[in-house]
């Protein structure tokens, strides 16, 4: 009996280390799987890094400071942002096109206030000619009557109907979804405060997040202009005084 137990012990001393070695090797060969939360975070970060939001100020930079607050909220989420005066819209479009062709940029989003919103359709049209799709464009109270051509996934024009703002008209060459949203009933919102309003900032950031991260778009509890609704378009000459205020 002692001999038998000794034989078992001998086998165990040789077998068990080998089993441990094999088990360790199998564990090392197993793929490292990230948790769902970690995978979601990494995926969101990747989408944010390949998006870019271009914000266009109005005539005088001192009146569009609410765009800086929007930019800060976007950067806090890892979304790259460029903020500049509207006069640089054309060179900005060239820069975006170069980044898109290089593969660095995949999602282009535009936001403009006052004169920055007036020239937003021009930037959309130029990017379309350069072969760059615009996923989302948001205008904040353009002071001139504007028309939209080219392609854009979604164009939202927030305007103050009883102030300086006007709806955006579509042309035959336009492809995409256009929404004119009258925000004159939003508390505290006017031409010089629309981009500073926390309510409007939440709407803008929420719409951008919906595109970049696939989150639900925010509800818009404001008046949407209906087809055929009467408007009085402002020509650029007639609205020059309003532009001077921003």
**Helix, coil or strand: residue 141:** coil
Tell me the torsion sign for CA atoms 157, 90, 211, 82.
Answer: negative
CB 191 within 8 A of CB 173: no
10-residue averages of pLDDT along the chain (246 residues): 49 56 54 56 84 95 92 98 97 98 97 96 98 98 93 97 91 96 96 96 98 84 47 42 43
d(CA 108, CA 130): 13
The string of DSSP letters for 27-89 reads HHHS-----HHHHHHHHHHHHHHTEEEEEEE-SSGGG-THHHHHHHHHHTTT--EEEEEGGGH
List, for residues 84-139, the tens digit of each pLDDT value. Answer: 999 999 999 999 999 999 999 999 999 999 999 999 999 999 999 999 999 999 99
> What is the predicted pLDDT for the residue at 42?
64
> What is the predicted pLDDT for the residue at 178?
98
> What is the predicted pLDDT for the residue at 134?
98
Sheet holding 223-224, edge to edge: 81-85, 51-57, 107-113, 134-140, 146-159, 168-182, 223-224
CB 89 within 8 A of CB 58: no
Alpha-helical (H) ranges within 120-197 are: 120-129
Q: Distances from the Cα of 245 to the Cαs of 63, 82, 180, 192, 241, in angstroms?
A: 8, 24, 23, 8, 7
> What is the predicted pLDDT for the residue at 43?
85
Q: Are strands 107-113 and 134-140 parallel, antiparallel or unpaired?
A: parallel
| Nearest 10 degrees: Cα torsion 71, 73, 78, 82 | 0
> What is the predicted pLDDT for the residue at 230?
40
d(CA 239, CA 246): 11
> What is the predicted pLDDT for the residue at 80?
98
Number of H helices, E strands in the chain: 8, 7
Reported pTM:
0.76
Residues constituting the chain = 246
Residue 3 phi/psi, 5° resolution? -65, -40
Q: Distances from the Cα of 78 to the Cαs of 65, 67, 115, in angstroms?
A: 21, 17, 27
């Amino acid at each position: 009996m002692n001999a038998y137990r000794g034989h078992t012990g001998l086998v165990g001393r040789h077998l068990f280390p080998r089993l441990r070695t094999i088990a360790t090797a199998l564990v090392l060969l197993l793929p490292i799987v990230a948790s769902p939360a970690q995978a979601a975070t990494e995926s969101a970060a990747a989408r944010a890094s390949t998006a870019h939001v271009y914000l266009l100020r109005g005539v005088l930079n001192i009146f569009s400071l609410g765009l800086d607050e929007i930019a800060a909220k976007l950067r806090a989420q890892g979304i790259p942002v460029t903020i500049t005066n509207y006069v640089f819209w054309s060179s900005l479009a060239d820069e975006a096109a170069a980044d898109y062709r290089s593969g660095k940029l995949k999602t282009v989003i535009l936001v403009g206030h006052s004169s920055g919103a007036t020239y937003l359709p021009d930037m959309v049209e130029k990017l379309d000619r350069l072969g760059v799709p615009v996923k989302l464009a948001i205008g904040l109270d353009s002071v001139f009557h504007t028309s939209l051509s080219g392609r854009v996934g979604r164009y939202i024009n927030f305007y103050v109907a009883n102030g300086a703002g006007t709806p955006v008209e579509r042309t035959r060459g336009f492809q995409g979804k256009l929404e004119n949203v009258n925000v004159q009933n939003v508390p505290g919102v006017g031409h010089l405060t629309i981009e500073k309003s926390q309510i409007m900032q939440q709407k803008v950031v929420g719409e951008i997040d919906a595109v970049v991260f696939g989150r639900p778009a925010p509800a818009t509890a404001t008046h949407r202009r209906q087809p055929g609704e009467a408007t009085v378009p402002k020509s650029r000459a007639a609205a020059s005084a309003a532009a001077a205020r921003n």
